[in-house]
Amino acid sequence: SYILQDDEASSDEYFKRLELDLRRDLIVGHTSFGVHRDNYKFIFNQKEANGSASRGEVRSIVLAMKFIEAQLIFEKTNKKPIVLLDDVFSELDEKRQKSLTRNFKDNQVIITSVEFSE
């Protein structure tokens, strides 16, 4: 499997990789390369968040990334994306839930949840 290194992670290289994998991806029914397959490390209080942050804090970090992603899409396309957030409230306290809805108030957002709060 081919991995793009930091110094060659240009958009041309990225799209070449997607084209190379297209036939196989169509056969297996999913993409095998892309940002959805990347692994990220987040530093939280000078430690890797994966081992030191609470589940709610980790969820908040991921949601912040989603918010940034939506903003970048808007900046590039001048169109607000539809944001789908699945079961986001389950590990967030009430303060973080309100912050989430406030941050996404100008976006079209579909939120699924097993819990309901007003």
* pLDDT for 61 beyond 60: yes
**Residue ranges of the domains in the chain?**
56-118
Separation of alpha carbons 50 and 35, rounded Å: 19
* pLDDT for 3 beyond 60: no
What pLDDT is attached to residue 58?
A: 84
Instruction: Indicate left, alpha or beta for 45 from its phi (over 0: left) and psi (-120 to 50: alpha).
Output: left
- C-alpha pair distances (Å), 80 with each of 33, 61, 65, 103: 25, 21, 16, 14
How many beta carbons lie within 10 A of that of residue 14, not counting itself? 15
What pLDDT is attached to residue 4?
A: 52
* pLDDT for 60 beyond 90: no
Topology at the third CATH level for domain 56-118: Rossmann fold (3.40.50)
What pLDDT is attached to residue 7?
A: 52
Sequence letter at residue 47: K
Q: Which residue has the higher pLDDT, 5 or 82?
A: 82
Residue 20: its H or E element: helix 11-28
* pLDDT for 116 beyond 70: no
